[in-house]
Amino acid sequence: MIPITILTGFLGSGKTTLVNKIIKQNPEIKFGLIINEFGEVGIDGQLVENSGQEMVEMSNGCMCCVVRKDLLETVEKLVDSGKVDYILIEASGLAEPAPIAQTFAMDDLNGKVKMDSVICLIDALNYRVSKETYQIATEQVEFADVLVLNKTNEQTPENLEMLNKFIKQINPDATVLENSEEFDTRVLVETGKWDNEKISSQEDHESEHTHEHDEVDEVVFVTEKVLDPMKLDHWIKVNFPENVVRAKGFLKLKMSEMNLDTTDDHGLFLFQMVGARKSLEPFTTTKTVFDYNTSRLVLIGKNLAKDDILEQLEKTTV
């Protein structure tokens, strides 16, 4: 039976980076990756390094709302390909883990797969604000078998102690680990920590629950025009929407305006925003197929003025 690990964690917690680390540190395992994103434009799947793994992207909606039949068919195709011996599912940052796990707890595809664990990645730096605004951030922690604290080196000891107390209060049975440069992700593979009894305790809650992400807005900006880095910098510093909780994307910038030692007319940059941190860095990839000519930016939050945001972003183009 092929094990299934579900990786959850709120928006911007670092799930894709952890997936890359798991793949790199476990080269003997042929992973089948399923990357789920809330937005209609996939970004995270493009950030997974091309290491020969089989990968399927499921965008435009949280996996917890995908018809169970679709999710099962996706997993079965990966299994039947004969090219994988482990399934790793990276759920959307807004997805509820219980319905996803329930899919495989109820149907093991005639003995082909088995649930191994639900792992939740916690952004130690931004988690307090996330859970105060989004209930799903707490639900993901409550349901996990393993909790991995991320960005702990950027947090104060006092705040880390408070976070650990909160975790123990709402999920005392979970294994708590800390991600660092030395963290060995082999402890996240074949844990055997899943217990089907967890599903029965969730059934009543699920029947009366309304998905929080129904209240979440998404703004997608796509253009083949080149962006002016000075105009973009002004938008990021002055006009960036306050209610955005996560933003990510690839932006094609005019290089002549950036005082860089290059003869290229334009270059692609990766933009990321989590909490108070915004970063814009040159982007390259090992993928053999990648669109370097199109900018695509996804912003996620509540009560976003979509038309105004798109109009402002359009003004950053050359």
Q: Which residue has the tokens 């979970």?
A: 174
Question: Does 3 have pLDDT greater than 50?
Answer: yes
For residue 73, the 8-state DSSP code is H
Q: Which residue has the tokens 């929407």?
A: 241
Measured CA to CA, the distance from residue 22 to residue 183 in angstroms comes to 10
**56-60, 76-80, 221-225, 259-263: range with lowest mean pLDDT:** 259-263
The SS3 call for residue 308 is helix
User: Residue range 305-317: average pLDDT?
Assistant: 97
Q: Which residue has the tokens 């998404």?
A: 218
User: Residue range 88-112: average pLDDT?
Assistant: 91
**Which H or E run includes 148?**
strand 146-150
**Model pLDDT, residue 28:** 94
**Model pLDDT, residue 203:** 54
Question: Does 2 have pLDDT greater than 60?
Answer: yes
User: Residue range 46-50: average pLDDT?
Assistant: 73
Question: Does 190 have pLDDT greater than 60?
Answer: yes
DSSP track, 201-246: TTHHHHHT---GGGG-EEEEEEESSPBPHHHHHHIIIII--TTEEE
* pTM score, whole prediction: 0.88
CATH 3.40.50.300 range(s) for the chain read: 2-214
**Model pLDDT, residue 213:** 62
Q: Given pLDDT bands bounded at 50, 70 and 90, which one contains residue 290? A: confident
Assigned CATH class of 216-314: alpha beta
Which of the two residues, 64 and 255, has the higher pLDDT score? 255
User: Residue range 22-41: average pLDDT?
Assistant: 87
Q: 310: Cβ–Cβ under 8 A, 6 or more apart, which residues?
A: 219, 221
**Model pLDDT, residue 40:** 66
Question: Does 206 have pLDDT greater than 60?
Answer: no
User: Residue range 179-196: average pLDDT?
Assistant: 93
Q: Given pLDDT bands bounded at 50, 70 and 90, which one contains residue 212? A: low
**153-157, 199-203, 285-289, 313-317: range with lowest mean pLDDT:** 199-203
CATH superfamily label, 2-214: P-loop containing nucleotide triphosphate hydrolases (3.40.50.300)
User: Residue range 32-56: average pLDDT?
Assistant: 76
**Model pLDDT, residue 196:** 87
Nearest CA to 113 out of 4, 186, 22, 36 is that of: 4
Question: Does 263 have pLDDT greater than 80?
Answer: no
Question: Does 123 have pLDDT greater than 90?
Answer: yes
Structure tokens at 145: 């078998």
User: Residue range 38-52: average pLDDT?
Assistant: 70
Contact 202, 143 (CB under 8 A): yes
Question: Does 207 have pLDDT greater than 50?
Answer: no
CATH 3.30.1220.10 range(s) for the chain read: 216-314
